[in-house]
Amino acid sequence: MEHIEKVIDERIQGKALVTKNKKENTKKLFIESYGCQMNMNDSEIVASILDKQGYNTTQILEEADLVMVNTCSIREKAETTVRKRLQKYNKVKRINPKMKVGVLGCMAERLKEKFLEEEKIVDLVVGPDAYRDIPNLLEEVSEGRDAVNVILSKEETYGDVSPVRLNSNGVTAFVSITRGCDNMCTFCVVPFTRGRERSRDPKSILEEIQSMVDQNYKEITLLGQNVDSFLWYGGGLKKDFNKASEMAQATAVGFAELLDMCATKFPKTRFRFSTSNPQDMKLDVIHTMAKHKNICKYLHLPVQSGSNAMLKAMNRQHTREEYMELVDNIFKIVPEMSLSQDMIVGFCGETEQDHQDTLELMKYVKYDFGFMFSYSERPGTLAGNKMEDDVPFETKKRRLQEVIDLQQEHALYRTQQHLGKTEEFLIEGTSKKNPNEWKGRNTQNTVAVFEKGDYKLGDFVMVKVEDCTSATLKGTVVGYSDNN
């Protein structure tokens, strides 16, 4: 259970991000990110834009000229954490009155009036599609005016911005391929804070990956709120695809094709992607994963509930049976596939039978990993506006614990399947528990630790798995893989 809770916490953990400094830059930026990996990637875009304005990043809050916090609205806990951090920033600001504080991301769009007018705790508020406007907003602040831009865009993908890699291990990197979301799940604020879905030009994606490969990165994760609905037809919103010309439609690039392009062009680079949505997952993507050894055999496939009644209330565009059929087909095509889930317990109107349906679905799939939460009402969502949060706190707590306990059982079952096998792992860093051991991940996204020996960061090595917990494999390196 401790591992599962730790994984949950890491999803909303803030990180003060830093990169190599330029001698010619004289101003200092302290940037902290909360929430999903898309937010981390956005912070890298912001750092790149501000680098051109003379800012180096710093991990020392007190010396910063500009503090930016990239925020998350997905859960109440995330917002509470960010508010506490803003209070700390303002205490420092009293000592260093030249310091400016800005809020980026999802909370910026949702709470702009509170931050600027009512609480007066920040100087500028910048939505996810307005990062290019930060230099202009800083000019507004310098002239004594509050600055805000939370306008959502139909075209912005930041495809031409080369992100500054912040706090990178130099081995793995993230490349954004879509922005926004069209799915309108009733519990989710993302469509309102990040706008409608649009995809990035494949050419710019491949160019960014080439840049990462040139810097010796070994693994790339393609990012989006919903990567499976990637659709490039020359630019514009996904919902407007049917209005495009016949030529644009005929030459459009979908996600399976993009994935194939990446894996073919960079055969020595590992690829992952996140996040998938079951309603948009097509089997051509799974066949592409089976075709290429360098596409990792791991899918994050959020289901949120095992109950058809809850799936309908959540506006998930699939049923329990359709999800199970999809899982069956995935395992037929790629038997070694690893699956993880997002699960919400205690959603509006959830009965004990609905909860049991979720547990039964979990037993059917036996997920390798899981991210599990009890429902918290988010203002501005369809559920927050129109549904009653009627499941008692103690009931939510008990149901969540049952889901976590079952996931822990399944996680151990899955790690035990690796015992005795020799598998390829990419060395990503030093083990947190033992400085003499490396940690790495296999194609299924499972972590292993093993003695360092003469191997180094970024090496692909073959490890014989000899022991395991529900979270980690332990083994012995038997040599390099043929991917080096």
CA–CA separation, 176 vs 100, rounded Å?
28
Per the annotation, binding residues are 36, 72, 106, 181, 185, 188
Q: What percent of the chain has pLDDT over 70?
A: 93
Residue 107 has pLDDT above 90, yes or no: no
Query: Are the CB atoms for 27 and 67 separated by under 8 Å?
Result: no
146 or 321: whose pLDDT is higher?
321
Q: Is the pLDDT score of 337 beyond 90? A: yes
The tens digit of pLDDT for each residue in 163-203 reads 777 767 889 999 999 998 999 999 988 888 788 899 999 99
What's the rounded Cα separation, in Å, for the pair 367 and 417? 13
Q: What is the mean pLDDT of residues 306-320?
A: 97
- Predicted pLDDT at 3: 38
Confidence check: pLDDT of 108 > 60:
yes
Q: Which two tokens stand for residue 444?
A: 């299924």
pLDDT score of 6 more than 60 = no
Residue 119 pLDDT grade (very low, low, confident, very high; cuts 50, 70, 90): low
Q: Which of 40-49, 210-219, 258-267, 364-373 shows the lowest mean pLDDT across its residues?
A: 40-49
Kindly report whether the global pTM for this prediction surpasses the value 0.85.
no
Q: Cite the annotated binding site for [4Fe-4S] cluster by residue number.
A: 36, 72, 106, 181, 185, 188
pLDDT score of 347: 97
Provide the token pair at 306.
Answer: 């095992």
Are β-strands 437-441 and 422-430 bridged in parallel, bridged antiparallel, or unpaired?
antiparallel
Domains of the chain: 15-149 (3.40.50.12160), 172-416 (3.80.30.20), 421-480 (2.40.50.140)
Please state the rounded mean pLDDT for residues 343-354.
Answer: 98
Mean pLDDT of the chain: 89
**pLDDT of 36 higher than 70:** yes
Q: Which residue has the tokens 């875009």?
A: 45
For the stretch 218-252, pLDDT in tens is 999 999 989 999 999 998 888 999 998 999 899 99
CA distance 356 to 369: 19
Q: What is the per-residue pLDDT for 167?
A: 66
Helix (H, G, I), strand (E, B) or coil at 56: strand
Q: Is the pLDDT of residue 4 over 50?
A: no
Q: Indicate if the alpha-carbon torsion angle 380, 8, 41, 303 is positive or negative.
A: negative
- 25's tokens: 């830059």
**Residue 164: its pLDDT value, please?**
72
Q: Are 347 and 313 in contact (CB under 8 A)?
A: yes
| pLDDT recorded at residue 75 | 67
Q: Which residues contact 43 (CB under 8 A, 6 or more apart)?
A: 17, 31, 33, 68, 70, 104, 166
